[in-house]
Amino acid sequence: MAKTMSKDRDDVLYSFHTDCPAPSAADIIEWTKRFPQYAEDIRAHAAIARDWTAQADVDVEIDEVTLQRAHSRALNIIYRSAEADSGVPSQAVGFFELLTRAGTRISDIATEIGIARAVVADLFNGWMRPPVGGRLSRAVMHALRIDQAAFDREVLFALANPRMGEAKASGPPQVLQRSYREIVESSGMSAERIHYWLEED
Amino acid sequence: MVISTNKLKPPPCTDAIGWRKITQAGQLGRYAPEAIIAAFQYAGSKDRHLREDMASYLSNLAQRVLRKRVGTNKMNSGQDIIDDVYDEFFAAICNPNCADAKGYRESFYGRLTFRLKDAIAEEEAAKRIPPPEEKKPAARNSNDDSKADDGEISGKMELRPALEESADGLFEIEEHTADAGVKRPDPALLQNVEELAETIDVERTLAQIPDPRKRLAFRLHVDQVPCGGTKGTVSIAGALGIDRKTAEHWVAEVRALLIENVNQVRAVTRRAAGE
């Protein structure tokens, strides 16, 4: 990894980076003479600097899935860092506790992401067998501000501690755990919405 | 290299309440990234939700900076490089005492693009396995070869004039076809399109060359830097630490590739114009 390089190397190349954003031949000769031990690095950085200078300065659009994926990676790193600092691994607290902490409700999440409320409820009640669909996972992680590892912990926690279903005349309340596909397909959503939620990016 | 100017004066980096208000109002964009990173590190250490909200903002910002600079011609469309630099960025700012964390507090764009440059250079170096004959072209070439190289280079060295001459020729054809009564796009507009297409194509073609030294040699050639020269002369050979013959060989190689690609673009443009 780049950041494991020596401090001297970093200092020299960073100074070159800031002092010569579009290095000329004279710049390259000067810097490689001053720091011959990093000559190849200086030339490699110079080539990339010149590539960037020639690029059009246009902002790029990044799709929402990529941004959410990146956000999830960031949260993972933050959690890992916090765990490393505390030395204590995170514990699952339950989706309903996370809902309270995030100041939201199942119906709010369902409305916001455009999915049937029953699907989110089944997930939180511990009635959905993993794997949970990628689109739903990301949407819930975003709504509850948790990373993938925390989400996985919560799914397992909910499965191990499911809420009871309604009692029926024929017997006591039962827990019916179904797959994500079964739950989505029986949710009453339009065919188009069902297709969307079953599709993977 | 602090680019963030015209930003508001931030509250102290330890002021969790102040930063919470800014975050909830969706106003992080009004503050310099360096100030947000410092607040992420200090105020964020007291308030987990604040840290996560700031992470969301910084995440989007970092992604945009990185994606803008990484071509999709890289391995896995450049996503691997972006992920590596992005992860390093967040790992660094989660550890306020590391050198990079200080660097990001001083210059977010400068440090992030520096790390990106390093990661791209690393990948390019890993991909670069020069063929044996490329290592010592001067030794391989006989005198006759050298003469042949010199002749080719002197004949085709000036890429830009050659392109301009060809563009003029296309412009004449457009005027002629318009006179014949056939409906054609405005020639001036078409010329602009052609110039733009060629500019884009030159960069796209250069981006396909995996060896950064060859790209740099060509760019210095466009700067009108000579391939070689007497001791003390600023030259491509001197800048790249190679001999003159190798510099000439690289420039000629890139130029040949460019001419081939630009001709293809020109043909497509002509077809689009209905010829």
Q: How far apart are the first and last CA of chain B?
A: 49
| Contact: B100, A3; criterion CB under 8 Å | yes
User: Which chain B residue lies closest to A102 (C-alpha atoms)?
Assistant: B49
Of A2, A60, A82, the CB nearest to B119: A2
Q: In the 8-state DSSP scheme, what is residue A178?
A: E
For every residue of A4-22, DSSP letters joined together read: GS-HHHHHHHHHHHHH-SS
C-beta atoms of A55 and B203 within 8 A: yes
Residues of B in contact with A3 (CB under 8 A): 88, 92, 100, 115
User: pLDDT grade, residue B269 (50/70/90)?
Assistant: low
- The answer to whether the beta carbons of residues B35 and B7 sit under 8 Å apart is yes
Instruction: Give me the residues of B, 195-254, that contact A with CB < 8 A.
Output: 203, 206-207, 212-213, 215-216, 219-220, 223, 225, 234-236, 238-241
Rounded CA gap, A49 and A29, in Å? 15
> What pLDDT, on a 0 to 100 scale, did the predictor assign at position B198?
59
Separation between Cα atoms, residue A122 and residue A75, nearest integer Å? 25
CB contact under 8 A, A28 and B103: no
DSSP 3-state of A129: strand
**Torsion over CA: A178, A179, A180, A184 (sign):** negative
CA nearest to B110 within chain A: A18
Q: Which of B83, B118, B216 sits opposite A43 (nearest CB)?
A: B216
DSSP 3-state assignment of A43? helix
Of the listed ranges A85-94, B88-97, B159-168, the least confidently predicted one is B159-168
Tell me the pLDDT of chain A averaged across its residues: 85
* A73·B67 Cβ contact <8 A: no
pTM for the full predicted model: 0.63
Nearest to A147 by CA among A200, A199, A197, A98: A98
How far is A148 from A142, CA to CA, in rounded Å?
Answer: 10
**Which residue from A148, A142, A145, A137 is spatially nearest to A67, judged by alpha carbons?**
A142
Chain A residues in contact with B247 by the CB 8 A cut-off are none
Instruction: Report ipTM (2 d.p.).
Output: 0.72
A26-40, A55-69, A99-113: range with highest mean pLDDT: A26-40
**B122 at A interface, C-beta within 8 A:** yes
Q: Which residue of B has its CA nearest to A60?
A: B68
Band of pLDDT at residue B179, cut at 50, 70 and 90:
very low
pLDDT for A190 equals 93
Q: Give the model's confidence band at A165: pLDDT under 50 very low, under 70 low, under 90 confident, else very high.
A: low
Tokens 């827990």 -> residue: A175
B204 contacts on A by Cβ (under 8 Å):
none
Question: Of A29, A44, A75, which is closest to B239 when you measure between CB atoms?
Answer: A29
- Interface membership of B47 toward A (CB under 8 Å): no
Tokens 């401090």 belong to residue: A7
Q: How many Cβ atoms sit within 10 Å of the Cβ of residue B202?
A: 20
Q: Which of A106-110, B112-116, B135-139, B154-158 has the lowest mean pLDDT?
A: B154-158
Q: Report residue A168: phi and psi, to 5°.
A: -120, 160
Is any Cβ of chain A less than 8 angstroms from the Cβ of B100? Answer: yes
Tokens of A128: 């959905």
B110, B1 contact by CB (below 8 A)? yes
- Minimum mean pLDDT among B39-53, B161-175, B192-206: which range? B161-175
The residue with tokens 């450049």 is B78
Predicted confidence at residue B133, as pLDDT, reads 53
Determine the pLDDT at residue B164. 40
Cβ neighbourhood burial of A64 (10 Å; 0-12, 13-18, 19+): exposed
Of A1, A28, A67, nearest to B239 by CB-CB distance is A28
| Least confident range of A55-59, A119-123, B3-7 | B3-7
Q: Which residue has the tokens 């790029």?
A: A60
* Chain A residues with CB-CB distance to B216 below 8 A: 43, 46-47, 50
> DSSP secondary structure string, chain B?
-----SPPPPPPTT-HHHHHHHHHTT-GGGS-HHHHHHHHHHTTTT-HHHHHHHHHHHHHHHHHHHHHHS-TTSGGGGHHHHHHHHHHHHHHHTSTTSHHHHHHHH-HHHHHHHHHHHHHHHHHHHH----HHHH-HHHHS-HHHHHHHHHHHHHH--HHHHHHHHHHHHHHHHHHHHHTT-----HHHHHHHHHHHHHHHHHHHHHT---HHHHHHHHHHHTT--S--STT---HHHHHT--HHHHHHHHHHHHHHHHHHHHHHHHHHHHHTT-
Q: Count of CB contacts below 8 A, A vs B? A: 145
